[in-house]
Each structure stands twice: as structure tokens, then as C-alpha cells.
Amino acid sequence: MAAKKAAAKRAAKKSPTLPPNKPAPKPGTLLDLKAAMAALERHGTAKGRESLARYGIVTQDKVLGVGMKDVQAVAKLIGTNHTLAEALWNTGCYEARMLAAFVANPSRVTPVQMERWAKESDNWAVVDTLCFKLWDQTPHAWDKIVKWTGARDEWVKRAGFALLASVALHDKAGKDKPFLDALKLIAREAEDERNFVKKGVLWALRGIGNRNATCKREATAMAKRLAASEDATSRWIGKTAIREMAKRA
């Protein structure tokens, strides 16, 4: 009997918004900011807040301590709601901004909104989630890749390369030429030694190389040139890319 009660309590904790014995809500249940924030806050823990530093996430945003699985669970209750996504972003809360990336409507994202969100981001987790879950689905992706990869701001520049990596992975039907041309952006910025920028450059190079045989040949050639560079950051990117792309041979 005790074991059954313990199991019931664990199951109840998994519910993203409702107490036990109530049916799971359907997408579209959470329609306003107050309800969405309350759903997030129910999952916030001190342990969750403390864990961010372990993953290199340092932010000036308010942090609730909500795990990604719970953020995604709340997103399922919202569905697609672009107006709410904007309101969530404007709270300045880390988890709310992550949630905004999941519930925003790609077809309603504007270049102006992308610029503002990119400039207001201050950590890799939010930037990468925006690129991987939202921005790569917009028609503005390539324009921002070209612009942002040359930015001075660390997180905007990270966004440029994270977006390139995301498009390389998700746009299966895309032609090779834009990706091969983008290798020039990688070569141009490979000497930026900032940790999250150089990792973004590596991610993009690896992503292009993993598309198909043609892209892999050209990306590998680029990686070899970088590996032979006199610049330490370029060498690190090149050698790491060669090693990681070889694993997918």
C-alpha cells in the first residue's frame, strides 16, 4: 500500500499544471501570461537554479529553476501563441524566454523582433533554443546568418553561427550553394577566441559537413586549412571539426 501511495505522489508531480486525479489539459489551455507564468513557477526549484552554472549558463534574467522537460511540458499546454510568446519574452525571466521560443509562430516572426530578441539575449541556452526551435523556420534566417556572424556582440554572433548550424541540420531539401558559401563566414570568424563564439563556429562547420558528401568534402577541406593555421583558435576549430566529422564517415 505504501508503495502505491508513493507511486501516486510521483505521478502527480509529473503533471505540469494540475493536481492529481484531474484530466491532463489540452494544448491551448494556457492562454494568458499569468497562467503560463504560474505553470512555470510551480516547477521552479533551488536545485534547478543552482544547476545553470554547471552548464555554463550565466544570465542577468530572473531564474525560476525550471528544467527543460518542464518548460516543454508547459509549451505543450500553450500550443502556438505568438502574442503570448512576446509577453513571455518581455518578462525578462529566463524560463519564460525559453518558453517563448517554443510557442512563438515562425510565420509571424519579423526581422525586427529577431534583432531585439537576439540583442536582449545574454546566454547560449536561450540563443541556441531560439535558433534551433524557432528562427531556422523563418524566411529571415539566411539574412540574419549573414548579418549576425559578423556582429561584435558575443551572443548575437553566437546566434549567427547557431542559426547556420540549425538550418544546416533542418533544411534537408535546401541547395548546397548557400551552405558552401557560408564556409567563407566560418573562415572569416574562426579567430574569434571567445568560448561560445568559437563553439558556435565549430557547430556550424560540423553541421555543414554533415549534410551530404559534397558538403562534407568542402567542409573537411576548410577544416584542414583551419587546422594548419598559425592562429590557436582556428587550429582548435579545424582539428575538432575533422575529428568529429570523421566519426560520421
In the block, cell 568560448 appears at 195
| All cell numbers assigned to 37 | 507564468
Burial of 186 (0-12, 13-18, 19+ CB in 10 A): buried
| Distance separating alpha carbons of residues 103 and 85, to the nearest angstrom | 6
Q: Which pLDDT score, from 0 to 100, does residue 12 have?
A: 47
Q: How far is CA 20 from CA 17, 34, 37, 42, 73, in A?
A: 10, 21, 20, 14, 16
**How confident is the model at residue 20, as a pLDDT?**
47
Residue in the block written with cell 558559401: 181
At what angle are helices 195-209 and 213-227 packed, to 10 degrees? Answer: 140
- pLDDT at position 193 is 98
pLDDT for res 247: 86
Collapse the DSSP code of 62 into the 3-class scheme (helix H, G, I; strand E, B; otherwise coil) and give the result.
Answer: strand
Instruction: Write the DSSP string, 151-164.
Output: -SSHHHHHHHHHHH
pLDDT of residue 204: 99
pLDDT of residue 31: 78
pLDDT digit string (tens) for the chain, length 249 residues = 555 555 555 544 444 444 444 455 566 777 799 999 999 999 999 999 999 999 999 999 999 999 999 999 999 999 999 999 999 999 999 999 999 999 999 999 999 999 999 999 999 999 999 999 999 999 999 999 999 999 999 999 999 999 999 999 999 999 999 999 999 999 999 999 999 999 999 999 999 999 999 999 999 999 999 999 999 999 999 999 999 999 876
